Amino acid sequence: MLGTPGDGSRGTFRDTVRRAGARWARGVRQRWRTAPPQRRRTWGLTAGSAAAGLAVSLGAVTVAGPWDSGQRTAERTRAVALAADSGGRHTGDARPPRERQAPDPAPSARPVLAAAGDAAAVPTRAGLTAVLRPLLADDALGSTVTASVVDVATGKELFARDGGKPVVPASTIKLATATAALTALGPDHRLATRTVWDAAERRVVLVGGGDPTLTGERLAELADATAQAVRAQTLTPAALAYDVSAYTGAARHPIGVNPNIAPLTPLMINAARTDDSRHGPAPRAADPARATADRFADLLADRGVHTGEVREARAPKNAAPLAVTRSAPLSSLVESLLTHSDNDLAEALARHTARATGKPADLKGARAAVKDALRSLGLPVGDATFADGSGLSRDSEVPATFLATLLATAASPDHPQLRPVLTGLPVAGFTGTLGGRYDQAATDDAAGLVRAKTGTLTGVNALAGTVVAADGRLLSFAFLTTGTTAPRAAESALDHLATALTTCGCR
């Protein structure tokens, strides 16, 4: 018989409610995965507006994102307007949702846990050890496994297994890249692509601003505004130049030509993709800057401005401005970067961090700038190596404790500018690189409760994010593995670890 609170059957009642909530959530997840993108956006507007992320303020932990006073919600519109591929497959991070027939809409699930807060009991080291140690022994996790669990409200590390040991983080390093960019630039910063007039050479100059999110539509709008300015100022251009001096150094990532990342140039359309994809691996233009400039010349010609020759050249410092197009705010870019594990955006933001701090916008400058920005937050970066911004390099190494502490710092009321690091985390079973996971019997209770950044390279699997424990305590965690041989089995083992944190009080 179903127990009721206070009748001596509290555990039975909680378990029954949790199981009922899990069944309801499975229905929600099924509806979410099979709904078309437009319907997802509609649900996001109605149900996700209250799901703003995770924050700690006035000494209390307040959880949003997939929670509103202990309730699962569908997810924010900006973090979930994605196609069926769920993004991020460039490293195998995402498992495609299964095709199912869509029932009637239901954008959120009933409450199954208490609201998060610092009044909730703190898990003990012994309690966490008893729950996590057997799961960490899973052979699927490979030869090297490091772990850290941190209490977000206090910043105290509650559990660690070789937490201070630097290991390859794969795409979880994007958490560091995003945090550094927000620290150096601020959440309202936008990436600008401009046109200017070079009077000495009588030419329009298209100046790349390091915005891989530049679309064909925005480039056409820039052509509209540029043509209007040329006519208004009675200019007679003889040529079009394009300026890529915003970046220095090698034009290729150290991994070389690869469908997972475009050439490293500050001027490109849609991350230099030559197909219609938005996320994941894709064929890329060999010379994105030149391809973008050629297209811009055609757009200007369509508007009656004929520029003739197209060539690479640096804009003069005194060049007169003509027009500009700007990206979404950095807060939105960071959310997209983390949700879809966007390599191109990660490398761009690392270089913008370098530029903002007076360092060269190349690989070496980005490494130093990211580390300096993270150090300024008081994060334990001493043994960390940030070889790139995306995590494609195997030369990067960070400790699990560093990642878990970074996530707790992002929730701190002292750093509100870092909140997009939390709101951009994929939601288990719903969005981004976790959209096709947490659909098995052993883990689906955690769907909607775990928010985490994935990381996958051959032989490397990682998961770092936040969970609300059974009693309402907000925890950050990082589980990093090396030497794995079966990626799906490793992912499942990592998902079991995160699920365990949601179901235990661990005291």
Point out the residues that are catalytic.
171, 174, 341
Whose CA is closest to 481, among 145, 245, 152? 145
- DSSP class of residue 258 equals B
In this structure, what token pair is assigned to residue 487? Answer: 């990626």
CA atoms within 13 A on the CB side of 422: 34
Separation of CA 211 from chain center: 16
- Locate tokens 């690189």: which residue? 433
CA-CA distance, 431 to 256, in Å (whole number)? 30
The alpha carbons of the chain give a radius of gyration, in whole angstroms, of 24
Burial readout 294-312 (b: 16 or more C-beta within 10 A, e: otherwise): eebbebbeebebebeebee
Largest pairwise CA distance in the chain: 87
Contact status, residue 326 vs residue 192, Cβ threshold 8 Å: yes
Classify residue 463 as left (phi > 0), alpha (psi -120 to 50) or beta: beta
Residues 6+ apart with CB under 8 A from 246: 207, 208, 209, 210, 266, 351, 355, 361
Beta bridge partners of 326: 192
For 202, the token pair is 């009588």
User: Mapping DSSP to helix (H, G, I), strand (E, B) and coil, where does residue 66 land?
Assistant: coil
Sheet of strand 156-161, all strands in order from the earlier edge strand to the far edge: 156-161, 144-151, 474-482, 460-468, 451-457
One-letter amino acid for residue 181 of the chain: A
Residue 11: other Cβ atoms inside 10 A: 9
Residue 485 neighbours by CB distance under 10 Å = 12
Cβ-contact 321, 239 below 8 angstroms: no
Alpha helix (H) residue ranges in 233-329: 288-302
Do the Cβ atoms of 214 and 193 come closer than 8 Å? yes
C-alpha 27/C-alpha 461 separation (Å) is 29
Whole-number Å distance between alpha carbons of 369 and 185: 12
